[in-house]
Chains A and B, each alone.
Chain A
Amino acid sequence: SQTIHQWPATLVQPVGSPLSLECTVEGTSNPNLYWYRQAAGRGLQLLFYSVGIGQISSEVPQNLSASRPQDRQFILSSKKLLLSDSGFYLCAWSRLGAMGEKLFFGSGTQLSVL
């Protein structure tokens, strides 16, 4: 069966520090991968989308970047965090090429930038 791992679960970082969140998927090949952000009490905002290694689509201009160095690994990064980067970050995967396939979410990372 497929599983998705996301870490760390919580992170407190000072403004201006770098960020690296990692997500890995097991049990499937060539998944679509996603990073979403959820502000407190708000909906989910799509940040990045990837259909393959090295293929990243950025959905909104921001202080973050994403990379996909391996088929089932998706990394969210920042060189210098801003206060506004605080939020709940969720990694997700879906089956490649399937329109409207459901998303499977990781357990999320609660990021607090102070």
Chain B
Amino acid sequence: GQQVMQIPQYQHVQEGEDFTTYCNSSTTLSNIQWYKQRPGGHPVFLIQLVKSGEVKKQKRLTFQFGEAKKNSSLHITATQTTDVGTYFCAAPKTRNTGKLIFGQGTTLQVKP
């Protein structure tokens, strides 16, 4: 079945450094979503990318969807301690369904 691979699994950075997590699929994705899960919490929707080559920004977060719609990335500029958590990408299992397949997640630790 469809899989979404996400790397790295863990990332430790010094506060102020940048951070990037990558998501890859062997098949073309109709769209990709990103979620953030704070320690002890539940995943919260961040953004959805639909178009080939799309780039969206939310303050210090930049989301990209590849031209072939098979990969995506989330980049955080100048991390802060509030960025700590696990970031997941997710894509529909099949077209026209709400069933999302999640990547394994990247857990970000930020040292103050």
Chain B residues lying within 8 Å of A32, measured Cβ to Cβ, are: 98
Q: Which of A43, A45, A94, A106 contacts B98 (CB 8 A)?
A: A94
Pairwise interchain contact A100-B99, C-beta atoms closer than 8 A: no
Q: Contacts A44-B43, A104-B45, A106-B42: A99 and B104 contacting too (C-beta < 8 A)?
A: no
A73-114 residues at the B interface, CB under 8 angstroms: 90, 94-95, 98-108
A87 to chain B minimum Cβ distance, whole angstroms, is 13
Instruction: Give the number of chain B interface residues (Cβ < 8 Å).
Output: 28
Instruction: Give the number of chain A interface residues (Cβ < 8 Å).
Output: 26
User: Is A59's CB within 8 Å of the partner chain B?
Assistant: yes
A11-59 residues at the B interface, CB under 8 angstroms: 32, 34, 36, 41-46, 49, 57, 59
B29-50 residues at the A interface, CB under 8 angstroms: 30-31, 33, 35, 41-45, 48, 50
Pairwise interchain contact A105-B99, C-beta atoms closer than 8 A: no
Q: Which of B6, B33, B42, B96 contacts A90 (CB 8 A)?
A: B42
Chain B residues lying within 8 Å of A101, measured Cβ to Cβ, are: 98
- Residue numbers of A with Cβ under 8 A of B are 32, 34, 36, 41-46, 49, 57, 59, 90, 94-95, 98-108
- Residue numbers of B with Cβ under 8 A of A are 6, 30-31, 33, 35, 41-45, 48, 50, 88, 90, 92-93, 95-105, 107
